[in-house]
Amino acid sequence: MTMNEDFQKIKDAIDGANEVSVFCHTNPDGDAIGSLLAIFTALKRLGKNVRAICDTPLADRFDCFFNHECVELPTKCASDLAIAVDCAAIDRLGLASKCYLSAKYRVAIDHHESFVPFGQINVLDAHSASCSEIVFKLLKYMDCVDKDVAKLLFSGLVTDSGCFQFSNTTKLTHMTACELMDFGFDAADTIFNVFRATEMNRFHLKVRALNKAKFCFEEQIGLIVFERGDFEATNTTPNDTEGIINELIDINSVKVAIAIAEVKEHSFKVSIRTKDPVNARAIAGAFGGGGHFNAAGCRVSGFLQDVVDKLLREAELTIEESKR
Ligand SMILES: [Mn+2]
């Protein structure tokens, strides 16, 4: 089935639905929220009864996203059509998965290579740097992109491509960005707000973590750890760690950057960034996680030192393997 045939089916499903709910993944990033709110905003303007649902209350950094105040927690779940964006598997919906599954008809739109279909219609394009690019194709097909929708999609595209810096960025990513910019929003301002703007407490968290950064395996592996004490001292949460890991992968000698955030006692959220040809997904996969080739993540339980040791060993193995 071609993508346009899927889009026509989705359009028909939207036309026939009384209530549409759009979902994104737990602990959302800019791509998830951009895709979610783009569909929400476009359908609202088509006069549809539509809701935007995420199981995590939105952080302040999403205040620059149009209609951000419309995102609801999964409390009441009656809808005949559910659309999930940027979720590689049903469990990525977190607490919202029950709500999603309760809909009569379900659509999943995603760009992760590890995608496991969970809707009646599944649209996967693993070549897209962001889910927002696929959503743009859908909304363009439905002829309902306007300036606000375009800015939301551009925000998502900028987030997942690392502002065109990550290796997932293709000619098509740039061409999509150009097409979106034609709608006339302020692109430089959007990039600043989505990509650069930060809070003072997050700056202090970054300083603490980078101060304790460790390098090993001939400085090919960089490691930072965010302990609960760091979050308490700076009034931040594990959600505020996003992007700080890039400071490590920027260093010339570093091939693997690892950030470990203590979510609960003995429970850690791990982010991994790599340079080619080292496979981040292989490292995360060893701990039951997943993601992309250069950016992946997993959850690991245990004592911090054991978690660090296990991750470093896996990173060393993967670096060695990449030389073969
Ligand atoms: Mn994404």
Q: For residue range 157-167, list pLDDT tens digits in order.
A: 999 999 999 88
249: Cβ contacts below 8 Å, ≥ 6 apart: 222, 257, 273, 274, 275
Mean predicted confidence (pLDDT) in 71-79: 87
For residue 324, the model assigns a pLDDT of 86
- When the pLDDT of each residue in the chain is averaged and rounded to a whole number, the result is 96
The CATH code of the domain at 202-322 is 3.10.310.30
Model confidence at 226: pLDDT above 80: yes
19: Cβ contacts below 8 Å, ≥ 6 apart: 49, 50, 51, 78, 79, 80, 81
For residue 88, report the distance from its CA to the centre of ligand 1, in Å: 9
For residue 217, report the distance from its CA to the centre of ligand 1, in Å: 31
For residue 136, report the distance from its CA to the centre of ligand 1, in Å: 13
For residue 33, report the distance from its CA to the centre of ligand 1, in Å: 9
For residue 205, report the distance from its CA to the centre of ligand 1, in Å: 25
pLDDT in tens, 165-205: 988 899 999 999 999 999 999 999 999 999 899 999 999 99
For residue 183, report the distance from its CA to the centre of ligand 1, in Å: 22
For residue 30, report the distance from its CA to the centre of ligand 1, in Å: 8
For residue 25, report the distance from its CA to the centre of ligand 1, in Å: 9
For residue 29, the model assigns a pLDDT of 94
For residue 233, report the distance from its CA to the centre of ligand 1, in Å: 31
Model confidence at 78: pLDDT above 80: no
Model confidence at 115: pLDDT above 80: yes
Model confidence at 119: pLDDT above 80: yes
For residue 259, the model assigns a pLDDT of 98
For residue 165, report the distance from its CA to the centre of ligand 1, in Å: 15
For residue 156, report the distance from its CA to the centre of ligand 1, in Å: 8
Is the separation of the CB atoms in 268 and 288 below 8 Å? no
For residue 17, the model assigns a pLDDT of 95
For residue 124, report the distance from its CA to the centre of ligand 1, in Å: 12
For residue 87, report the distance from its CA to the centre of ligand 1, in Å: 8
Enumerate the CATH 3.90.1640.10 domain ranges in the chain, comma separated.
Answer: 3-196
For residue 306, report the distance from its CA to the centre of ligand 1, in Å: 30
Enumerate the CATH 3.10.310.30 domain ranges in the chain, comma separated.
Answer: 202-322
Percentage of the chain lying above the pLDDT 70 cut: 100
For residue 68, report the distance from its CA to the centre of ligand 1, in Å: 18
Is the separation of the CB atoms in 312 and 216 below 8 Å? yes
- The whole-model pTM stands at 0.86
Pairing of strands 295-301, 49-53: unpaired
CB within 5 A of ion ligand 1: which residues? 31, 86, 131, 160
Please give the structure tokens belonging to residue 147: 């300036």
Mean predicted confidence (pLDDT) in 36-44: 98
What confidence category does residue 60 fall into, taking pLDDT thresholds of 50, 70 and 90? confident
For residue 305, report the distance from its CA to the centre of ligand 1, in Å: 31
For residue 31, report the distance from its CA to the centre of ligand 1, in Å: 5
For residue 244, the model assigns a pLDDT of 96
Please give the structure tokens belonging to residue 90: 């049903």
Pairing of strands 295-301, 267-274: antiparallel
Q: What ranges make up the beta strands (E) of 86-137?
A: 105-110, 121-124
For residue 291, the model assigns a pLDDT of 85
Model confidence at 1: pLDDT above 80: no
Which listed CATH number (3.40.30.10, 3.90.1640.10, 3.40.50.720, 1.10.530.10) goes with 3-196? 3.90.1640.10
For residue 222, the model assigns a pLDDT of 98
For residue 38, the model assigns a pLDDT of 98
Q: Measure CA of the first residue to CA of the last residue in the chain; give whole Å.
A: 38
For residue 28, report the distance from its CA to the centre of ligand 1, in Å: 9
Q: Measure the CA–CA gap between 320 and 228, rounded to whole angstroms.
A: 33
Dihedral of CA 83/63/162/152: which sign? positive
Mean predicted confidence (pLDDT) in 218-237: 97
Q: What ranges make up the beta strands (E) of the chain?
A: 19-23, 49-53, 71-72, 81-85, 105-110, 121-124, 214-216, 221-226, 256-264, 267-274, 290-291, 295-301
Preceding peptide of 74 cis, ω within 30°? no
For residue 160, report the distance from its CA to the centre of ligand 1, in Å: 6
Model confidence at 70: pLDDT above 80: yes
